[in-house]
Structure 1
Amino acid sequence: MSRPVRPIDNRVIGGVCAALARRFGTSATTVRVLFLASCLLPGPQFLLYLALWILLPSESRTRTAW
């Protein structure tokens, strides 16, 4: 299993939903819709998104320059 990274392409804000979609093998649109639907429920969704934005490395930083 590879570590999720925020992709350079297909980002809307921070690339967190695109990274989760790539990791779980689904479309980024599906993850975005699920995130927006979860915002209707009480909970720390925005804090979790911000934490993942900070903790997940960007794809450009993980590439090796061989």
Structure 2
Amino acid sequence: MTFDSNAPKPFARSSSQRMVGGVCGGIAEYFGVDANLVRAGAVLAAFVTGGTAALVYLALWMLLPA
């Protein structure tokens, strides 16, 4: 009996693509996109949502493993 090594990647903060908390870097590494695009999207989302996206960022910073 053999098992494929198709285990899902862990969703965690980045240790290499870190500016503030590593949340945007972790999202970028997970989805395979540029971290600067994710950061720009997070800033844009923070303005569009009136700060709700910033609260989500803070929550992810506290909840995601490093």
TM-score (norm 2): 0.78
- Measure how far apart 1:38 and its partner are: 1.0
Q: Which structure 1 segments of 5+ residues have no match? A: 59-66
RMSD: 1.1
Structure 1 match to 2:53: 45
The aligned amino acid for 2:19 is V
Query: What is the aligned length?
Result: 58
TM-score of the superposed pair, with normalisation by structure 1: 0.78
Consecutive unaligned residues of structure 2, counting only runs of 5 or more, are 1-7
* 4+ aligned runs moved over 2 Å, structure 1: none
Identity %: 38
Q: Report the CA distance between 1:5 and its aligned residue.
A: 1.4
2:29 to 22, 30, 33: 22
State the 1:42 CA deviation: 2.3
SS at 1:10 equivalent: coil
Shift of 1:35: 0.7
Structure of greater relative contact order (alpha carbons < 8 Å, 6+ residues apart): 1
Task: Verify the 8 A CA contact 2:13 2:64 in the aligned structure 1.
Answer: yes
Quote the Cα distance in structure 1 between the aligned partners of 2:47 and 2:62: 23
**Which protein has the larger Cα radius of gyration, Structure 1 or Structure 2?**
2
Distance 2:17 2:32 in 1: 15
